[in-house]
Amino acid sequence: MPHPRLLPPGPAASLLAVLACCFLLPAPAHAALFGDNPVDLPIKEFVASPNHNNRPAGVTVDTVVIHTTEGSLGGTLSWLQNPVSQVSAHFVIAQNGDLYQMVNSRKRAWHATYYNARSIGVEMVGYAGRADTWNDANLATLASVLAWSSVEFGIELERPLGNAYGDANNTFRGTGLVGHAQIQPWNKSDPGVFFPWDRVEADARAVVAAAVPEPGTAAALLITLGCLCRGRRAA
């Protein structure tokens, strides 16, 4: 495609310039900027929590924090709906893979202290110290949530190294897919030593790859043209 600056002025040149820029974007950024999120978010039910507030202006959402509930699904949903608890999460995933949303992703849920403003919080029903917490059903749903978050916000599908003890102020600074224990290693261990990080990262990347066409394909062109005329819907 000719360089946009070499094209004569006019509507055709403007469109080609836009398309040229679009195709230079990574696939997740392309989808997040120009259309509805193509990754399916299989929400079973929205169970609203009152425990949230607005994200500070200008804050970039760059992290998903993964937790374990250390309790049952019913107890978790009840506690996160209780104003007295002062805690919440954006998503709760049951052991059978059912997905519950509790806070709009554009809002700040209260789940990871100093990471709340920049993160999506995901609670996995189960226990950090038990290998049987993890199964094909709940890990598949988690992969979908992580893939959706990556496309929606541009979050990297990779776990950073280290934890808050590596910083002089005991403040973690990693982005991407983060365990609760990395943020608060002094009193948290979740999602635990049995959590299959490598599998989860690979599965989430595969979900994105299946849902988002590579730039330059005919499908990507059709999506771009269609999305130029559409607004974006927040979940």
Q: Are residues 80 and 153 in the same domain?
A: yes
pTM for the model: 0.79
Does residue 43 sit in the same domain as residue 33?
no
75 and 113 share one domain: yes
Same domain, 125 and 168: yes
229 confidence band (pLDDT: 50, 70, 90): very low
Whether residue 195 sits in one domain with residue 136:
yes
How many structural domains does the chain have?
Answer: 2
C-alpha torsion angle, residues 123, 54, 36, 119 (rounded to 10): -40
pLDDT at 36: 86
Burial 43-76 (b: 16+ CB within 10 A, else e): eeeebebebbeebeeeeebbbbbbbbbbeebeeb
φ/ψ of 63, rounded to 5, equals -145, 145
Q: What is the pLDDT of residue 9?
A: 42
- Facing residues of 43 across strands? 99
Q: Which domain range does residue 221 map to?
A: 1-37+215-235
CATH number at residue 191: 3.40.80.10
With beta carbons less than 8 A apart as the criterion, state whether 153 and 62 touch: yes
100 lies in the same domain as 182: yes
Q: Do 118 and 43 belong to one domain? A: yes
Checking if the pLDDT of 150 tops 80, the result is yes
At residue 185, the pLDDT reads 98
How far apart (Å, rounded) are the C-alpha atoms in residues 50 and 155? 26
Residue range 50-101, pLDDT digits in tens: 999 999 999 999 999 999 999 999 999 999 999 999 999 999 999 999 999 9
Judge if 31 and 121 occupy the same domain. Answer: no
Query: Do 191 and 78 share a domain, yes or no?
Result: yes
Q: CA nearest 115: which of 178, 160, 48? A: 178
Say whether both 43 and 32 belong to one domain.
Answer: no
Is there a single domain that holds both residue 69 and residue 129?
A: yes
What lies within 8 Å, CB to CB, of 177 at 6+ separation is 63, 64, 66, 146, 155, 156, 157, 158, 159, 197, 200, 201, 204
Specify whether 188 is located in the same domain as 220: no
More confident position, 45 or 213: 45
